[in-house]
Structure 1
Amino acid sequence: MFANENDVEWNDIGPVDTGFRRKQLGRAAGGEGLGCSLYELPAGERAWPYHYHTRNEEALYVLDGTGRLRLPDEDRELSAGTYVALPTGEGSAHRVVNDSDDVLRYLALSTMEEPDVVGYPDADAVGVYAGSPPGGDEDERVLSGFFETGDRVDFWETIGGE
């Protein structure tokens, strides 16, 4: 029910094109239906690839620093005290970018529904999560993977036949 930031370990995330870390506060407090993570995004870095969720709503609250949020039709400035609601769907595609000289610290909150399909418009790809939502326990996942949208197969020829 309770978690203190000082008692939760940092997880470094991202090899290429990202370099950030997070503390999964919601998980540490025993949360099940609502996730909350503290992120630190170093100067010049970007968080998760540009994406949107089809099932899980997200929100961001900036604690310290500045940056910008890439959205489908515009970029918006982020600064301490900024709150952003990100409903489901392609119209809420987003990516946090730290284009400042200082660390950007923010909370990211998310509903923890599964299954979830995540769209990655820049890569023309999707991610599939079943058994555990994005940000959930990977060991509980019964199905997950990333697929280029061009990899579609004809159901009856590929799967529905004998």
Structure 2
Amino acid sequence: MKKILNIDNMPREHIDDPDFQSKMQTLLIGNALGCEKIYVNIDYVKPGGKSVKYHSHSKQEEFFLIMQGSGLLRMNGEEVSIKTGDVISKPAGQEIAHQFINNGSEILQILDAGTREKDDIATYPDENVVFIRNKGLVFDIKDCMKGWTSDPNS
């Protein structure tokens, strides 16, 4: 079934922070349209705000278009200036840590699209956290077991 939606009339249940009280608001466009294999969001990041916590994905492919504003893209430990019209690809299967930072004076508007991957694992290197997304499980990397093996004969 084809569904058409105008982002100016986005249902509140498909908006993270619908009153835009925090530093970031996200329109969950793909969810509102019923997309199953991809997600499509528009992120609005206020000056001084960050898009997400610095993280990587084990399987998810992502694409970003800077629709408005300027800022920094923090990617794999480097910071790169970004501006309106820039496009960024984060290929699948490469754990590339990323985060957008609005160091400008206007709202940074980002089209954020990617694949929905059932067994995707997100890693948050700043916090030493691993998040198994489809299970909702969060682990502290510092608490990992040393010397464990899957070999039943060891």
TM over 0.5: yes
Counterpart-to-counterpart distance in 2, 1:34 and 1:48: 19
TM-score (norm 2): 0.83
Residue equivalent to 2:87: 83
Deviates more, 1:3-12 or 1:113-122: 3-12
Residue equivalent to 2:16: 11
Equivalent pair of 2:23/2:48 in contact (CA under 8 Å) = no
TM-score (norm 1): 0.79
Equivalent pair of 1:12/1:21 in contact (CA under 8 Å) = yes
Q: Percent identity?
A: 25
Counterpart-to-counterpart distance in 2, 1:3 and 1:109: 17
2:93 paired with 1:93: no
Counterpart-to-counterpart distance in 2, 1:53 and 1:2: 30
Residue equivalent to 1:108: 112
Equivalent pair of 1:12/1:19 in contact (CA under 8 Å) = no
2:22 paired with 1:22: no
Counterpart-to-counterpart distance in 2, 1:155 and 1:29: 46
- 1:3 Cα deviation from its structure 2 partner: 2.1
Q: For 1:6-155, what aligned pairs fall within 5 Å after superposition?
A: 6-8=8-10, 9=12, 10-12=15-17, 19-87=23-91, 88-90=93-95, 92-130=96-134, 143-153=135-145
| CA-atom RMSD in angstroms | 2.1
Counterpart-to-counterpart distance in 2, 1:19 and 1:155: 42
Counterpart-to-counterpart distance in 1, 2:119 and 2:104: 36
- 1:73 Cα deviation from its structure 2 partner: 4.3
